[in-house]
Structure 1
Amino acid sequence: MTLSIDQSSCIKCGKCVKVCPAAIFTQVKVGEVVGIEHEEMCIGCGHCAAACPTGAVKHSDFPAEKVHPIDYTLLPTPEQMMLLCKARRSNRTMTKQPVPAEMLDMIVEAAHRAPTATNAQSVSFTLVTDPKRVREVSEYTLGIFGGVLKKLKNPILKPLLKPLLKGVYRYVPVFERLLREDRAGNDPILRHATALLFIHTPESNRFGCEDCNLAYQNASLMAESLGVSQVYMGFVMSAVKQDNKRGLAKSLGIDGHIHAIMALGMPAFRYPNYIDRKDIKVTKLE
């Protein structure tokens, strides 16, 4: 990585100094020469190149073709953004119609644009659209739940487990219902989704869960804006967490940890209304 300042085009505004999280840029005061120190501390976030109004920052990770001007007049208004947040719901009325590839690409791109801790950018995505592979995910989840259910209902283990796992036992009827509905062809796990987006990071990422769920939120809002149904796969994630052998990750060729899963499909209809949530709870320390 190389980093330098083109002093002939630098207007000494100091914006790069203010935005750099690693404090690599130096300037005694605005209007004086901008310098660089401890270049090796750069995390490659690109704040400097994005903030420079004249292109004076020369960063090898961000050549001119990777720096794009922003037309702020094209951004949604605050009211439009708020409406999108209010309209976003988990729409489980998915049809058999596949999600167009260009829409899936936009959803993944939006997820990829999410911030990551220390700018690690180690979030990866596995998009599954093969109907057989999609079905395997449902079968995997139900298999894990079936195994748990068998242990919980074991007449020998039950007297020992129930006092220790009171919260778990309330899911016994839920597991039974899921298995029953699946046998009836209702697909209670994936809701007939035609695509699954797995968001994962290497084991070495200490903030993998946070990074993946930030990416998920971006993807969710993009899907809503495209009119694509998206549902957080809580049941599948629950199965993943209970599987010490990491069977699903291995079957999908994922080297690392799955932290978020989104089911995607085209909706039978879109919600005509949004509803208010519970009263907001805000503690203000002024």
Structure 2
Amino acid sequence: MRIRACLTLALTVLATACDREPPTKEEIEDARARVDLAVHAAHQARMALELLGILPVYTCGEPRRTFVGRAAEGAHTKVACVTATVESKDNTSDAVVLSFPEGKCSVNGHTVVGQSAFLYNGGEERMDLTADLHDLKVDGQPLQAKVGYGTCGDEKRFWTETSGELPGRAGNTYRVDGRVGLREGAPIFGSTTLVFDGPGEVSGPLGTDRVTFTGLQYEVGEYLPKEGEALVETAKGHRVKVNFSSLLWRLGKVEVEIDEKAPVTVPIVR
């Protein structure tokens, strides 16, 4: 059997497939910059969903006001520095208000400051939760996000809508509509792993790129997803496929495939 040699590309990247043309250095650098922005946007959505996970998911069939009282007590147990109070709104809704004091209130390795009301509407047969997190700061930066879920009945979905300027990436804005991946037999929140997917968009000096995240699996305290995929459809008309794997995750790298060219491995720095 004839063995064909794979093409190896120097510098910070490595072509990993045989028989395909490798991308140029310029194409790799352009793709790396765009992937960096996409990863940072996904990170913002992930942080918002982790804050949603401070409160337990509603137990179908339980009276709403009984649940919100229990949820408020559980929030302080889970995050010692948070203050949780219950506000009765009307006959169909109640709120749990989470307050994060100035100083070092840490949630999954991030410093959180501010206040947000988590509004529960319905109960027993159907419960909807929404929270506007715009009055919170995470690591000194505003968290421009809404989170929520609908559970019980025929539909069950957990979501976040995040948008704004990318912290630490001046001149770039983003939008991500994230959905928590509901996997059979796996907890939705409360474990060390969070899985989500959904569409997004990043705009800035490089133009406007459309991004689709699929099955991004995060470990608590880590910046890069441990598993999952992303597709970046660039402003220049290219398709950049990103593969997140546990092997490369340990090295702070991802595999990138630009159009139909040979995949390369690139580092992603927080």
Q: TM-score, normalised by structure 2?
A: 0.24
Structure showing the higher strand proportion among its residues: 2
Larger Rg: 1
Higher relative contact order (CA 8 A, sep 6+): 1
